[in-house]
Amino acid sequence: MTGGVSMYGFWWTLHVVCVYLSLAGFVLRGAWMIQASPLRFLKPVRIVPHVVDTLLLVSAVVLSLMTAQYPFTHGWLTAKLLALVAYIGLGLIAFRFGRSREIRILAWVGALLAFGYMLAVAYSRNAWPLG
Ligand code: HEM
């Protein structure tokens, strides 16, 4: 039993650490994008986010299984999953496919709004955290 609790603690901690690393990296890369800083082309800057986001998703799947709460079964996880798809899509527009500076910045702001929504959903365990 103790083993089960500490394994949950491990995956929960990994999940939450990756959440804030992902957010910090996203904010930083956006600032570099807006300033047209060459730092955004550094190899680690392009690779680390993928490592963090992979760990974030792996820990999400493990936590889902450990707590027996699943997207499309539990509304708050469905909401988080859909917002995650929006966050990833908007992030791709912001950092890869956006054709103009305006589009990139708008996509970046939209992705940050989606992230804030995911945080509110996660802490309230409610798909309508303000309602
Ligand atoms: C679709 C992918 C995701 C799934 C399936 C998922 C699933 C989960 C699960 C099952 C928990 C544990 C809940 C519990 O102990 O009852 C959790 C906690 C948490 N998740 Fe996620 N997660 C995902 C993505 C994210 C993302 C992208 C964020 C950040 C925006 C995030 C933020 C959090 C936070 C902050 C907690 C801790 C909440 C608390 O302790 O009150 N999750 N997640």
Q: What is the pLDDT of residues 66-125, one digit of tens each?
A: 999 999 999 999 999 999 999 999 999 999 999 999 999 999 999 999 999 999 999 999
Give nearest CA residue, ligand 1 atom 22: 60
2 CA distance to ligand 1 middle (Å): 22
Q: Is the CB of 112 under 6 A from ligand 1?
A: no
What's the pLDDT score for residue 4?
A: 62
The pick from 13, 74, 118 for probing ligand 1's pocket by mutation, whose C-beta has the most ligand atoms within 8 angstroms, reads 118
59: pLDDT confidence band, cut at 50, 70 and 90?
Answer: very high
* Stretch 25-50: mean pLDDT: 96
Q: Is the CB of 123 under 6 A from ligand 1?
A: yes
Give nearest CA residue, ligand 1 atom 10: 64
Q: Is the CB of 29 under 6 A from ligand 1?
A: no
37: pLDDT confidence band, cut at 50, 70 and 90?
Answer: very high
Q: Is the CB of 118 under 6 A from ligand 1?
A: yes
Distances (CA, A) of 51 to 29, 31, 98: 15, 20, 23
What's the pLDDT score for residue 109?
A: 98
What's the pLDDT score for residue 23?
A: 98
Q: Give the distance between the most distant pair of CA atoms in the chain.
A: 54
